[in-house]
Chains A and B, each alone.
Chain A
Amino acid sequence: MSTHHLRATINGTVYEGDVEARLLLVHWIRDVLRLTGTHIGCDTTSCGACTIIVDGKATKSCTMFAVQADGREIMTVEGLEQDGKLHPLQEGFHEEHALQCGYCTPGMMMTSLAFLQHNLNPSEQEIRVAISGNLCRCTGYVNIVKAVRYAAQKMQATEQVPVSAGQGGE
């Protein structure tokens, strides 16, 4: 059994500590750092409730060890709101009534954010494929798709153009 020193940036804040190799990233985030916005659902890499963004990629945090996150840039649902202002995705989920019990919501939003960062003008079908690894058991997919669309339009309007879109130049 090995332990490792781990240092990762989460929502702009640097966190560090010693972890056992077998500690899953989701448990470090929730149980050690107490960032409980990220949920644990199925524990079988199926449901996506634990989805966070690691180095720009939507990631099921129950399927990565904490030690693997060393030096990486992480965003969790707590990183969406800025200065008391809801992120367009949060606003979209609110406006379109895209949640009932809310259990899948953090994962849905993080998957959607990583997706929108590469595609700000998605079709309904593209949204449905993008969130197909995230399960909602209240079966509110229709409104979730609407919420993601709402966010896409709002993000377009407010020009939250992602760096990765490669639109550089003067």
Chain B
Amino acid sequence: MIPDSFDYVSARSVAEAVTLLNKHGDEAKILAGGQSLIPLLRFRLAKPSVLIDINRVPNLDYIQEANGELHIGALTREAELDDSNLVRSRYPILFDTSTGVADPVVRNWATVGGNIAHADPANDHPATMIALGAHVVAIGPTGERVLDINDFFTDVPFETSLHSNEILTEIRVPAPTEHSGGAYFKLERKVGDYAIAGVAAYITLDSSGQVTFAGIGLTNVGPIPIKARNAEQSLLGKALDDASIHHAADLAAAASQPVSDTRGPAEYKRAMVRTLTVRALRKASARATGGK
């Protein structure tokens, strides 16, 4: 399949990309890894008149800790998360997530920024970033904005609160504390498929084992990435035991809005959200208390 015609510009800096976005507005699309965008172009589901390629913009791919956070450059490839010792040892929830994205060849080009900015409810990083309470950095003509991930995704599928002349440049994840842990579980029919359902959970415990923070995000069980607020709230101040975990899992399942499709009936997907939430919380709890 052949994409419709477009103009192509290879930007060499974030400033140049922003200038081009400012000039072309909604007509332009940023081309990062291209592993979602190029298939959309081939099917002509997207028809931008200008593609702004940022693959040659320097200093946009990095994974580093600073100011009590992990900073991930938007152009960081999924494969770089897969291979990062820092991610594997301190942010295993990110390792769970990146290694479940598409397949290893796709992950060589697919970017973390693209996975989030594309705002596909079937993408894996949105749920994880919701669970983590991440922030994203957007740069536009008037400077930089730091957005809470929960303000980044809107109520409209595939839409973010980025302005048409802004570009996502960085993702910021809180660094682990002494008793924090997270996990992402994805159920998929086969490698490379989108999730039947996916659940990310991140928790922080106090020294007595009571939950002081809980984040739960859901993948591909609704029109947008879902934050399971009631499930999160139900855990606060409680110990993570069978009763509290199962209660939160019921609330997470209730927050999901799956539709029946080739990946299964809605009831099945909702049941899977319940099961995956239990597993994610158990693993998050184990990791928060020093286990694997």
Contacts and interface: CB of A to CB of B under 8 A. Distances in A.
Interface of A: 1-2, 4, 20-22, 24, 43-46, 48, 51, 57-60, 62-65, 67-68, 70, 111, 115, 129-130, 132-134
A115 B83 CA distance: 13
Contact of B39 (A22, A44, A51, A133): A44
Given A20-B5, A21-B6, A63-B38, A132 B104 contact: yes
Contacts of A129: 104
Contacts of B4: 22
A60 B31 CA distance: 16
Interface in B19-46: 31, 34-35, 38-39, 41-42
Interface stretch (B61-69, B105-113, B128-136): B105-113
Contacts of A70: 10
Contact of B34 (A1, A58, A63, A133): A63
Contacts of A22: 2-6, 41
Interface string B162-191: 000000000000000000000000000001
B38 A21 contact: no
Q: Which 8 A-B pairs have the closest CB atoms?
A: A133-B103, A21-B8, A1-B5, A133-B105, A132-B191, A57-B108, A2-B7, A22-B3
B61 to A, nearest CB: 13
Given A64-B38, A133-B192, A48 B105 contact: yes
B5 A58 contact: no
B11 to A, nearest CB: 13
B106 A4 contact: no
B53 interface: yes
B160 to A, nearest CB: 22
Highest count of chain B CB atoms <10 Å: which of A45, A60, A65: A45
Nearest to B36: A45
Contacts of A63: 34-35, 38-39, 106, 109
Nearest to A50: B105
A105 B54 CA distance: 32
Contacts of B191: 132-133
Given A51-B105, A57-B109, A59-B108, A45 B7 contact: no
B209 to A, nearest CB: 35
Interface residues of B, number: 30
Highest count of chain A CB atoms <10 Å: which of B38, B104, B105: B105
B8 A2 contact: yes
- The A interface is mostly helix, strand or loop, or mixed, namely mixed
Contacts of A58: 104-105, 108
Nearest to B193: A46
A99 B147 CA distance: 51
B1 interface: yes
B51 interface: yes
Contact of A1 (B6, B9, B55): B6
B132 to A, nearest CB: 25
A62 B35 CA distance: 10
Nearest to B190: A132
A89 B3 CA distance: 34
Contact of A133 (B5, B7, B9, B106): B106
Highest count of chain B CB atoms <10 Å: which of A51, A57, A62, A68: A68
Contacts of A64: 34, 38, 109
A115 B7 CA distance: 34
B69 to A, nearest CB: 28
Given A51-B105, A65-B38, 19 more contacts: A1-B6, A22-B2, A24-B2, A24-B38, A43-B42, A44-B39, A45-B35, A45-B39, A58-B105, A59-B105, A59-B109, A62-B42, A63-B106, A68-B31, A68-B34, A68-B53, A132-B103, A132-B104, A133-B105
A67 to B, nearest CB: 6
Interface in B105-159: 105-106, 108-109
17 contacts: A20-B5, A21-B8, A21-B51, A22-B4, A43-B42, A44-B42, A45-B106, A46-B192, A51-B105, A57-B109, A58-B104, A59-B105, A63-B106, A64-B38, A132-B103, A132-B191, A133-B104
B106 A60 contact: yes
B80 to A, nearest CB: 11
A111 B105 CA distance: 7
